[in-house]
């Protein structure tokens, strides 16, 4: 099964070189690939999976500079995305060693975003207050509902 191919460990703290490589491609989003699902009506539908995130510089511990300067909530609600020659993300070990992993490219041109899945990490982080997270998620939900 494909579940056996999933790597459980991922990081958002990256070197400048890894942030600029073809997998991250100087973007604050990951392309996880695509899957074809057959709907109840028997029609096939291709689903591309994108994860919006914010990558942190391993030297400064501040967000990496990106070409898209919009705040996270605006970026995460975008309905069109593009990143020339961006590769599918598989795992952290892939960064810098892209040639050792499957190299599936994100589709060229603008990828339309037709739906959103909003997830929240409820684990107890050292500097995270749950109320602050809920407020952030609520603001994000409001922005997504406008998209």
Domain with CATH 3.40.50.300 in the chain: 13-115
Q: Is the pLDDT of residue 133 over 90?
A: no
Q: For the residues 104-121, what does the mean pLDDT come to? A: 92
Q: For the residues 4-27, what does the mean pLDDT come to? A: 91
Taking the model in full, what pTM does it have? 0.88
Question: What residue ranges in the chain does DSSP mark as E strands?
Answer: 13-14, 29-38, 44-52, 56-57, 80-81, 111-112
Q: What phi and psi, each to the nearest 5 degrees, are found at residue 76? A: -65, -25
Query: In the chain, what percentage of residues exceed pLDDT 90?
Result: 76
Domain 13-115, CATH 3.40.50.300 — does that match?
yes
In the prediction, which pLDDT does 1 show?
58
In the prediction, which pLDDT does 3 show?
65
């Amino acid at each position: 099964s494909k579940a056996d191919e999933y790597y459980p460990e991922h990081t958002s703290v990256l070197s400048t070189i890894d942030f600029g490589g073809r997998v991250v491609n100087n973007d604050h989003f990951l392309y996880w690939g695509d899957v074809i699902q057959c709907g109840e009506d028997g029609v096939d539908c291709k689903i591309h999976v994108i994860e919006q995130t914010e990558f942190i510089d391993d030297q400064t511990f501040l967000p990496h500079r990106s070409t898209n300067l919009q705040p996270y909530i605006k970026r995460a609600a975008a309905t069109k995305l593009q990143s020339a020659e961006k590769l599918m993300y598989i795992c952290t070990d892939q960064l810098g060693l892209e040639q050792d992993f499957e190299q599936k490219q994100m589709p060229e041109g603008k990828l339309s975003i037709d739906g959103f899945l909003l997830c929240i990490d409820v684990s107890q982080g050292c500097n995270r207050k749950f109320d602050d997270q809920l407020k952030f998620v609520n603001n994000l939900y409001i922005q997504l509902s406008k998209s």
